Structure 1
Amino acid sequence: MVCLALFLVVCQALTLSRGGWAGTAGALVFMAVVLLLKKGFAHKRLVGYLMAGIVVTAAIVMASTPVVQRIMTLTQGNLEDNIAHRLNLWEGTRHMIADNPAAGTGPGTFETAYPPYQQPGYTVLARYAHNDYLQFTAGTGILFIPLMLWLLYLFFRTGFKKFHSRSRQTSGIALGCMAAAIAILIHSYSDGNLQIPANALLFTSLSALTLKSGV
């Protein structure tokens, strides 16, 4: 399991996805903190060693030339790939939300509704907001925000209840699902993960697995 975890970290680093790196780091930190704070958990030292190994492995991989070059695109990449592009997208999306606050423009309409809000200087029309929170709000209206906050509250409340189950299987599944959700939520801040059907299906399956009674 330790070797598999290190292998997955290396694979994640080599995807060259900056948001994926942040999501993976957030999920691992979440799992480590939750396990270390759990009363009666007998393998806290192992968790510490594992996290140290992951940090060292990640540092070695992150120092490779392709990864460093990918990080540099945050400020030095082409116009459609750097952080300035994301900030312009988010600014335009916020204007779109302000013009359609109640019901939004409709789910799945971002690509057709966004062009009037596109900032000058771009040769390609944006298909996604590169921020799931803004894009879902733009499509469904501001009522989406309290609904999602309530659903996330239910998800993590149920997940932590199951995490403290006497069943190691139930506890492990709950922790894994919560960590996976953390990764997706972090990555969704800078990308459109949940606009991809496979990712949306995975997120829904993880949520259902956590919320299902008797698991």
Structure 2
Amino acid sequence: MGFVASIEQRIYCCLVGAACMSSLSIAGTNIFLALGAIGFLHRAWRKHDDLPGRLSGISRFLWVPYLLLALAALLSIAGAPHPLADLLDFGNSYLLRPLPFLLVVLFVREGKKARGLALAMAASVGLNALLAIGQWLMHDMAYGARWSGGIFYMAQGTILAAALPIALLLIMREKKYRACCTLLFLLLAAAFLLNGTRGAWVASLAVMSVIAFVGLKWKSFLAGTVAMVLLVGAGFTLIPPIHDRMETILHYQKEHSYSERALLWKSSAAMLMDHPLTGVGQGEFRDAYQTKYIRPEAKEPWLGHAHDNVVHAFAETGILGGMAFLAFWVSTVYCAIRSWRRHHDTASLAMAALIMAFMLHGLTEYTWGGATQSKFLFLALGICVAFQNIRSAGGSDFHS
């Protein structure tokens, strides 16, 4: 193995470490990503002439909207009251969090390595699900609390909302992994119920329905739909805590968290009205909300985000940033669907499921702003793009 190849191997090992930590510990994830970044700088110093060619594997439907989004966020800082802090927030949000995507696309160029990363992420999600179930068992199977393993329950909710549809997709399309993925699906489903994040439940069910509709013949889809309705109905009627939690989805007008979100969204609209072009500034939502825009009837004055990805983007970065944010996500979904229509590959459909789950849950939660779930997202997106590039180059793909 040559010197450059050995550097790339060390970067890959760091990515595997980050994947193993992705659903367990953000601190552990950051340590491995920092080591991977150092390896990347070393690799670029020793040999960099081939890196632009490797970056060409990223579709323009991904990188052009993302650059426009980052530029809009940067422009919003110009008139913000805390520009230095906002620049640091910008660097964290738009440079560091996408780092795993960049490292995977640059240095994961073999099917075996891409499958290894995917397996490491699956192991991380599964292990954290076991931890959540263990927490529940250790507390005498107490209901009412929210068990989420080693990470924040909202972060786990977002991750499981994406992981369950992808596990279902693998069950449908990959016979080689069907048994393992079925066990993983059941494990994640149990942890998902204990997590109790309603927006994630709705998002995951919606995405699984889309995946099943696209990936199954109509008879199988009909049977699966009936089974899903019966399963959800059983949980709704037979398990009181789940029944109570699901009931709040149907009767949201009486739920405190929904009314508080409505107040947040009204405050966000006021921010946009006062700063229509560039918003209050990247990273300024918390300060603006708590000091100026909080409504008198709000009962949670400590909140620091809009509990909605799109609303938050418009409030912080104005019309420019909000439209760029929407363009980025629509373009990313389009990129995945276009690849699926051309090649009918598992990776492209998994990419679409990942994005849809992330953004659907983001209608009631600020999933874009969470470090754990955003780094999980970019790492998983990187793996999907790596599989697509490997397939395009004629290498071994998911099926090998």
Q: Identify whether the pair has TM-score above 0.5, normalized to the shorter chain.
A: yes
**Which residue of structure 2 lines up, in the alignment, with residue 154 of structure 1?**
331
Q: Percent identity?
A: 20
Q: CA deviation at 1:133?
A: 0.8
Residues 52, 7 of structure 1: alpha-carbon distance in 2 compared, 3 angstrom cutoff: farther
**Which residue of structure 1 lines up, in the alignment, with residue 78 of structure 2?**
none
Q: CA deviation at 1:9?
A: 3.1
Q: CA deviation at 1:96?
A: 0.8
Equivalent AA in structure 1 for residue 328 of structure 2: L
**Which residue of structure 2 lines up, in the alignment, with residue 39 of structure 1?**
none
1:6-17 equivalent positions in 2, closer than 5 A? 6-17=186-197
Deviations 1:151-199 (A, max 9, x none): 2343223212332455x7xx11211221121111111111112221111
2:377 & 2:276 partners in 1: Cα distance? 26
2:340 & 2:348 partners in 1: Cα distance? 5
Contact kept in structure 2, 1:19 and 1:190, CA below 8 Å = yes
The structure with the largest alpha-carbon Rg is 2
1:61-210 equivalent positions in 2, closer than 5 A? 61-63=235-237, 64-73=239-248, 74-77=252-255, 79=256, 81=257, 83-115=258-290, 116-125=292-301, 126-164=303-341, 166=343, 171-210=345-384
Equivalent AA in structure 2 for residue 150 of structure 1: A
Matched, 1:20 2:200: yes
Contact kept in structure 1, 2:279 and 2:315, CA below 8 Å = yes
Contact kept in structure 1, 2:362 and 2:368, CA below 8 Å = yes
2:348 & 2:373 partners in 1: Cα distance? 19
Q: CA deviation at 1:6?
A: 4.1
Equivalent AA in structure 1 for residue 373 of structure 2: N
TM-score w.r.t. length of structure 2:
0.46
Deviations 1:48-100 (A, max 9, x none): 434433332222223321123224553444x4x2x222111111111111111
Of the structure 1 ranges 61-70 and 94-103, higher mean CA displacement relative to structure 2 is found in 61-70
Q: As a proportion of its length, which structure holds more helix?
A: 2
Q: Secondary structure at the match of 1:114?
A: helix
Of the structure 1 ranges 48-57 and 204-213, higher mean CA displacement relative to structure 2 is found in 204-213
Structure 2's unaligned 5+ residue stretches are 1-180, 391-400
1:207 & 1:144 partners in 2: Cα distance? 22
Q: CA deviation at 1:103?
A: 1.5
Equivalent AA in structure 1 for residue 374 of structure 2: A
Residues 110, 75 of structure 1: alpha-carbon distance in 2 compared, 3 angstrom cutoff: same
Residues 51, 205 of structure 1: alpha-carbon distance in 2 compared, 3 angstrom cutoff: farther
**Which residue of structure 1 lines up, in the alignment, with residue 212 of structure 2?**
32
TM-score w.r.t. length of structure 1:
0.81
Contact kept in structure 2, 1:128 and 1:135, CA below 8 Å = yes
Contact kept in structure 1, 2:313 and 2:325, CA below 8 Å = no
Contact kept in structure 2, 1:155 and 1:211, CA below 8 Å = no
Aligned length: 203
Contact kept in structure 2, 1:10 and 1:61, CA below 8 Å = no
2:330 & 2:366 partners in 1: Cα distance? 22
Residues 17, 111 of structure 1: alpha-carbon distance in 2 compared, 3 angstrom cutoff: same
1:57 & 1:6 partners in 2: Cα distance? 12
Q: CA deviation at 1:208?
A: 3.8
Contact kept in structure 1, 2:278 and 2:321, CA below 8 Å = no
1:149 & 1:112 partners in 2: Cα distance? 24
Q: CA deviation at 1:19?
A: 0.4
* RMSD of Structure 2 on Structure 1 (CA): 2.5
